[in-house]
Amino acid sequence: MTIELIGMLAAVLTTASFAPQAIQVLRTKETGAISLVMYIMFTTGVLTWFIYGLFIGSLPVIIANAVTLLLAGLILFLKVNSLLPRDWAGRARNVLFSPLPRL
């Protein structure tokens, strides 16, 4: 039981560590100092961990990596979006930040 708690604590701390960066990027829209290569590699690694968690049926691995994938994926999307030509980036921003259409 103790080893499971250590694993859950590690998962919560590493996952939560991406929240401040995601919040800052969403607030400032500034991604200039963020490494594109690092986030591509990291997001791919997290996706791989998520898939691994699905295969072994480990809920802590699945949940932690799903949340991390969302946060890191958001940062990666905004970084790539900032590198696109202005007309492409504007369209991508409109998709991400516009309200959902009512059905």
Q: Which amino acid is at 99?
A: P
How high is the pLDDT of residue 91?
60
Name which residue leads in pLDDT, 91 or 3. 3
The CATH topology of domain 35-88 is Monooxygenase (1.20.1280)
Q: Where are the domains of the chain?
A: 35-88
Distance CA 84, CA 89 (A): 5
Distance CA 23, CA 30 (A): 11
Q: What are phi and psi of 98, to 5 degrees?
A: -80, 150
Structure confidence at residue 46 as a pLDDT band (50, 70, 90) = very high
| pLDDT for residue 101 is more than 70 | no
Mean pLDDT score, 68-91: 82
